[in-house]
């Protein structure tokens, strides 16, 4: 039974008993579709509470959470990109560990990206042959490895002579992670092919 028919039945059941009342009153039949649409709108509104499925209220959510910010790329974004950025910003729990940054990468749509941390100690005369050659300051560096699915574009014959020979990078993820990175660390992005 569809929703409109259910509302017709419920409204008919609210009428007082007796021969004067007809279950097929035009007033009741007119209210049922309106109530059915209101019911469906309320169901759709429940989806609007989740930033991963928001559609109609996305502009309001973005203004409340301070988006778009300086990490938002120029031009237009798809609805899915806006949702991902909103989800990453609203559900930000906080932390300075690898799990926190891994969750941010996942929320921004980079599930295949990995994080590399450099050893906390440097190579000494007592180190084994397979130890890293990093100096002490490398313990403040960490790297995000982003797979080949990212935007890598090369200069073509129709490019301007002032264009770069090759450009790459995901400006949104770089900006967001640089904002969230601890101030004493240095973040490197590696785009693999």
What are the φ/ψ torsions at residue 165 (nearest 5 degrees)? -65, -40
Section 95-102 average pLDDT: 85
Average pLDDT over residues 53-70: 89
Q: How confident is the model at residue 123 (pLDDT cuts 50, 70, 90)?
A: low
The residue ranges of every structural domain in the chain are 3-12+24-47, 112-191
**192 and 148 Cβ atoms separated by less than 8 Å:** yes
pLDDT in tens, 66-75: 888 888 877 7
Q: Is the peptide bond before 68 cis (omega within 30 degrees of 0)?
A: yes
Q: Which pLDDT score, from 0 to 100, does residue 115 have?
A: 92
pLDDT tens digit sequence for 109-119: 888 899 988 76
Instruction: Give 137-162 pLDDT, tens digit per residue.
Output: 777 889 999 886 556 677 788 888 88
Confidence of residue 52 (pLDDT cuts 50, 70, 90): confident
Q: How far apart, in whole angstroms, are the C-alpha atoms of residue 101 and residue 154?
A: 30
| Tens-place pLDDT, residues 6-38 | 988 888 888 777 777 766 777 778 888 999 999
* Enclosing H/E stretch for 11: helix 3-14
Range name among 43-47, 55-59, 79-83, 189-193 with the lowest pLDDT average: 189-193
Q: What is the rounded average pLDDT of the residues 90-95? A: 77
- When pLDDT is averaged across residues 172-177 and rounded to a whole number, the result is 86
Judge whether 144 and 177 are in contact, CB under 8 Å.
yes
Reply yes or no on whether the pLDDT at 131 is more than 70.
Answer: no
pTM of the predicted protein model = 0.58
């Amino acid at each position: 039974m569809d929703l409109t028919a259910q509302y017709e039945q419920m409204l008919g059941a609210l009428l007082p008993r007796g021969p004067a009342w007809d279950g097929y009153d035009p007033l009741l039949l007119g209210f049922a579709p309106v109530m059915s649409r209101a019911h469906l709108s309320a169901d759709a509104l429940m989806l609007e509470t989740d930033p991963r499925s928001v559609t109609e209220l996305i502009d309001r959510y973005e203004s409340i959470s301070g988006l778009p910010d300086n990490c938002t790329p120029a031009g237009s974004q798809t609805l899915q990109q806006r949702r991902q950025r909103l989800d990453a910003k609203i559900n930000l729990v906080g932390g300075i560990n690898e799990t926190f940054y891994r969750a941010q990468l996942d929320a921004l749509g980079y599930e295949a990206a990995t994080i590399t941390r450099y050893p906390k100690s440097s190579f000494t005369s007592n180190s084994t042959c397979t130890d890293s050659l990093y100096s002490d300051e490398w313990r403040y560096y960490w790297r995000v490895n982003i797979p080949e699915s990212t935007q890598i574009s090369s200069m073509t014959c129709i490019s301007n002579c002032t264009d770069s020979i090759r450009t790459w990078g995901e400006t949104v993820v770089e900006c967001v992670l640089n904002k969230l990175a601890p101030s004493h660390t240095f973040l490197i992005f590696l785009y693999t092919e």
